[in-house]
Amino acid sequence: MIRIGILGDIGSGKSYVANNFGYPVFNADYEVAKLYQKNRLIYKKLKKILPKYFNSFPLKKDDISFAILDKKTNLKKITKVVHLEVRKKFNIFLKKNKRRKIVILDIPLLLENKINTKKDILIFVQAKKKDIQRRLKKRKNYNPRLLYRFRKIQFSPNLKKKRSNFIIKNNFSKKFVRKNIKNILKIIKS
């Protein structure tokens, strides 16, 4: 099985690119959102370590954001609880797709949490800063302070770019992205 990890800055279009490969995608952000909505154990663990912030299930995005912004150390506490469960989901995904030729890993902290292997093919999604900023501002829950906190726990885009095998310049055009993906897949499969 070939594992392709998608890297890039927040808002660069990693999920968009990942979903255009045509192979099974493990989307960590989606899994986290599902855990907040459906996993009562995650709620209980978070309520135990951060009782001031979490009072009801399912967990609300506003409560999570408030906890992260209220105290610097809260983000680490939350990720410690949540990432353990996400890793379990990831292992289930790999077992379920073990016969697949290629799987796509859309995991924002792929390198930071040492989830990648040496054999993984890493693709960096590069977009213009002004395009990223414009896209982020359109998001319903856009908060520059929250973005700052998330960026602080991630490796810099430059480091991710250096570690990547390929770069896709994302101009947010489906035709352009698909052409880049086709070229990369041709190289990988040869």
Domain that holds residue 136: 1-24+101-190
Whether residue 54 sits in one domain with residue 110: no
Of 70, 96, 122, the last residue of a domain is 96
Low-confidence ranges of the chain (pLDDT < 70): none
Residue whose tokens read 């040869």: 190
Please check whether residue 120 is in contact with residue 3, taking contact to mean a CB–CB distance below 8 angstroms: yes
Q: What is the pLDDT of residue 52?
A: 94
| Residue in 97, 134, 121 with CA at minimum distance from that of residue 13 | 134
β-bridge partners, 169: 126
Cα-based distances in Å from 102 to 5, 6, 116, 141: 11, 13, 15, 33
Whether residue 175 sits in one domain with residue 122: yes
pLDDT digit string (tens) for 76-91?
A: 999 999 999 999 999 9
Whether residue 105 sits in one domain with residue 20: yes
Whether residue 161 sits in one domain with residue 91: no
Whether residue 108 sits in one domain with residue 144: yes
pTM: 0.89
Whether residue 87 sits in one domain with residue 66: yes
| Cis amide linkage into residue 108, ω under 30° from 0 | no
